[in-house]
Structure 1
Amino acid sequence: MSEIWLIIFRIAFILIFILALIPVLVLLERKISAFIQDRPGPNRADIAGIRLGGLVQALADALKLAIKEDFTPGAIRSKALFTIAPMVLFLMSTLTIAVIPFSEYFTIDGVKHLMQAIPFDGGLLWYLGFASLSIYGIMLAGWSSNNKYSLLGSLRAASGAISYEIPLGLAVVSMILTYNSISLNDFVIAQQGSFLGLPAWGIFLQPLAAIIFIACAFAETNRAPFDLAEGESEIVAGYHLEYSAMSFAMFFMAEYIAMTAMSALVVTIFFGGYSLPYLSQADLATHYKIVLLSIASITTIIGLLFIWWVSKNNVTRYKIAKDHRKRENKLYYALTVMIVVAIDIVCLYFYNGSLGEFGAEVVATAVNLVVFALKTFVMLLIFIWVRWTLPRFRYDQIQRLGWEKLMPLAIFNIIITALVVVYGS
């Protein structure tokens, strides 16, 4: 029975993680772009005066797309392919993150269980396979739309995939040689030690592979500066030009899910995954009381900083008869205090008691989940930051970058890695 609940938890965690992140990422995309362009961003949509920092705007957009008419042009080549294209892209993007480990093995009745939605040891091959299949959704959308701009967008996506997926795969080969495994969980466990006084993270062991992989990761998600497949200044909107309402929303969500999955993979391979530097799950479980005190202290500090930030920033300099910000701030204060007090009480309760081996493992797993989420979130912020900082590359520039720069460097890195592994061990 415990194993069934563990399976449900693994699947539910990943699904809730990616689906709950979509409205947050939409808000961050708008807020960060507004900050870079020196403007406020969305801050007007509200529910009874509560704006949630602009999150209500993202919820309003989701509701608009859900109730909007889903119009299908009459001159499309195939209605069936036109309909399933966004579903293919959405499904492939969701399946890629299913093999990302978000915690170390969890032991039940002496049996170790992989903490992945789909417990598969060859998770790296699974990821690369389904990430490559996602291009079929774009190709089907572009061809079935019977629109020259849509077809050009899908062709651009396919040619781009060839140019950057090869160096991405070669960068992965060098990491497989380094870790001597294709299991993503083994990658994370291998990074829990130290290397020349630094955490044994992949970015320190293989800096060139990290640069190549991260550059290709931006291209894999079809985001700027690699968004040739939907370059609005050249081909209007690209492969999803003829889509509207929820069909368009599925392309939109698939992009953010793919971005989340790629961020999680980058974190897993190069930044220690779910683990803290120098610490394993066994270390966290052994010293769970220190971990509980640390959680209570950090949560309290973050709560106080959030209340201070809200009181300083969620205000207006204009004279308004009925300013909803005051009531909104009271809600923020109350929710923050309730959450902080609840977490502190739980931590102190278990600190004064005896959790046992199972309880200590649960605490260590909870820490791993939080660390995994935070690292992935930071990587997502970098994705958004780069999109609104760098201009779009031209088609020929992307081809040259993939074939003439990244691929020779990736091959060179494999040779060096193989020599070090063979003669340095």
Structure 2
Amino acid sequence: MSQLDILLLVLRVAFGALVPLCFIAVLVWMERRGAGFIQDRSGPNRANIFGFRAAGLVQNLADAIKLITKEDIIPDHVRHRFYFVLAPVIVFFISLLSFAAIPFADILVINGKQYIMQAIPTDLGILWFLAIAGFAVYGIILAGWSSHNKYGMLGGLRAAAQVISYEIPLVLAVISALIVYGTVNLTEITQYQGQLLFGFIPMWGIVLQPLGAIIFIVAAFAESNRIPFDFAEGESELVAGFHVEYSSMKFGMFFMGEYVAMFTSSAIIVTLYFGGYQIPWFTTETLVNHAGIVSFLLMLIVPAFAFLFSLWMQKNNKRPYAMADDPNIRETAVYTKLLWIVVGGIEVLLLFFMVLSAGAAANILVALLQIATFLIKTTIMCFVYVWVRWTLPRFRYDQLQRLGWQTLLPLSLLNIFVTSAVVVALS
């Protein structure tokens, strides 16, 4: 392997491992700020470092310190301590590993050599995700069983029943999509969605498989144990359920595993049904062939967006009453300076790409642009998770099972039959 091969391998693996971990802080912040917005309250805005609150992000650091420094207790009635400790590790690392096969940009071509932009460049694609993601429930079941607690055991049993109920319609929804795409390779699936239907409609999965997309998204919500499907926890019924006996960072790993699973689920939904890294109406070839123009347009768009964002910060990060030497104004001034320093660095980088708008430079520019597009789409989908959690109440358990077996399962089978008939007729 050449030095370039090793460098790109390290960067791809680092992206697959570090981006989901970094998004834990972003998603916790989004959860709290989103809940505050939906419930018409401020959300986290008190924790600070020398007066800098970072719009509530400092609260995440305080929570991390709290979890790390808390006493780590294993109750005396826990009989299988090894499995008790292993359970949160399984949940966390399975969630992280599920993201490894999801492409975050199109195939990168440098000096005639192709590099698949996945942490693990496998052709298994969606099969990898389904196989690995299904193991996460073992951690929940193991946690409930090894806790030797009736509430934990009930939470583990509920998790098992829920996964069985919703894994089937989820897989059937994927089968319908694969009938259309004709491949299990996620990179090829995303490339397929770069085409146009009737010359102007992006051929995203949500357009080709609207019913399948709805089934998959609902089942993905259930698989990630998020409200309204959080029966494995059920605070009002099971006093936190499967993780009731966990404390300190063992609880923290369950907590982080939920948000990594949420990010991974959003990423696979975006990849299958919302074009993945594809920018609507701009294929990879189009962007590479017009890299100079793309760089120039971005040099105009980035400062304009930064200017509007700075105005938004100045408007929203101030007290509703006059105050001498307002610390919020000082904080906003510092953030504004940092923002323009970042914008200056981006402008220099874009100028470099505009000057060298050919060959490897053009391909790298397009890859960076597609990575940004992929992360933006995934973040929007993560917000949908937050939106649903703080809008809908938890179902009753019989309603959960009825939805899975009597509604989603028949609809997913019907979707397979209809999709197969249409594909055969058109082929």
TM-score (norm 2): 0.97
**Does residue 220 of structure 2 align to residue 217 of structure 1?**
yes
2:339 match: 336
1:106 match: 108
1:251 match: 254
Deviation digits for residues 118-151 of structure 1 (CA, Å, limit 9, x no counterpart) = 0001111110011111100000000000110011
Q: Is the 8 A contact 1:99 1:126 kept in 2?
A: yes
Deviation digits for residues 152-186 of structure 1 (CA, Å, limit 9, x no counterpart) = 01110110001111000000000111000001111
Deviation digits for residues 94-139 of structure 1 (CA, Å, limit 9, x no counterpart) = 1100000001111244332211000001111110011111100000
Q: Identify which of 273, 278, 282 aligns with 1:275.
A: 278
2:7 match: 5
2:393 match: 391
Deviation digits for residues 50-102 of structure 1 (CA, Å, limit 9, x no counterpart) = 00001001111011111111111111120000000000111110110000000
Counterpart-to-counterpart distance in 1, 2:342 and 2:322: 32
Percentage of identical aligned residues: 48
Counterpart-to-counterpart distance in 2, 1:141 and 1:403: 26
**Does residue 297 of structure 2 align to residue 294 of structure 1?**
yes
Shift in Å at residue 340 of structure 1?
1.3
1:56 match: 58
Shift in Å at residue 324 of structure 1?
1.5
Equivalent residue letter for 1:267: V
Counterpart-to-counterpart distance in 1, 2:79 and 2:402: 34
1:80 match: 82
Q: Structure 2: which 5+ residue stretches go unaligned? A: none
**Helix, strand or coil at the partner of 2:114:** strand
Q: Is the 8 A contact 2:233 2:240 kept in 1?
A: yes
Q: Identify which of 204, 226, 229 aligns with 2:229.
A: 226
Deviation digits for residues 240-268 of structure 1 (CA, Å, limit 9, x no counterpart) = 01001100000000000000000000000
Counterpart-to-counterpart distance in 2, 1:420 and 1:6: 41
Deviation digits for residues 187-230 of structure 1 (CA, Å, limit 9, x no counterpart) = 10000011133110000001010010011111011000100110
Counterpart-to-counterpart distance in 2, 1:46 and 1:216: 39
Q: Is the 8 A contact 2:291 2:358 kept in 1?
A: no
Bigger drift between 329-338 and 263-272 goes to 329-338
Matches of residues 35-74 of structure 1 in structure 2 within 5 Å? 35-74=37-76
1:371 match: 373
Matches of residues 385-424 of structure 1 in structure 2 within 5 Å? 385-424=387-426
Counterpart-to-counterpart distance in 2, 1:223 and 1:214: 12
Q: Identify which of 192, 204, 227 aligns with 2:194.
A: 192
Q: Is the 8 A contact 2:110 2:359 kept in 1?
A: no
Q: Is the 8 A contact 1:193 1:279 kept in 2?
A: no
Q: Is the 8 A contact 2:110 2:363 kept in 1?
A: no
**Does residue 239 of structure 2 align to residue 236 of structure 1?**
yes
Equivalent residue letter for 1:202: G
Shift in Å at residue 319 of structure 1?
4.4
Shift in Å at residue 321 of structure 1?
4.7
Equivalent residue letter for 1:219: A
Q: Is the 8 A contact 2:217 2:269 kept in 1?
A: yes
**Helix, strand or coil at the partner of 1:303:** helix
**Helix, strand or coil at the partner of 1:356:** coil
Equivalent residue letter for 1:79: R
Q: Identify which of 134, 137, 152 aligns with 1:135.
A: 137
Equivalent residue letter for 2:87: A
Q: Identify which of 318, 321, 330 aligns with 1:318.
A: 321
Counterpart-to-counterpart distance in 1, 2:105 and 2:70: 40
Shift in Å at residue 320 of structure 1?
3.9
Q: Is the 8 A contact 2:145 2:152 kept in 1?
A: yes
Q: Identify which of 349, 367, 372 aligns with 1:346.
A: 349
Q: Structure 1: which 5+ residue stretches go unaligned? A: none
Deviation digits for residues 370-413 of structure 1 (CA, Å, limit 9, x no counterpart) = 00000000000011000000010111111110100001010011
TM-score (norm 1): 0.98
Q: Is the 8 A contact 1:67 1:245 kept in 2?
A: yes
**Helix, strand or coil at the partner of 2:232:** helix
2:211 match: 208
CA RMSD of aligned residues (A): 1.1
Equivalent residue letter for 2:69: I
Counterpart-to-counterpart distance in 1, 2:43 and 2:193: 39
Q: Compared with structure 1, are the counterparts of its residues 240 and 342 closer, same or farther at alpha carbon in structure 2 (3 Å cutoff)?
A: same
Shift in Å at residue 349 of structure 1?
3.7
1:24 match: 26
**Helix, strand or coil at the partner of 1:112:** strand
Counterpart-to-counterpart distance in 1, 2:361 and 2:327: 44
Count how many residue pairs are aligned between Structure 1 and Structure 2.
424
Shift in Å at residue 38 of structure 1?
1.2
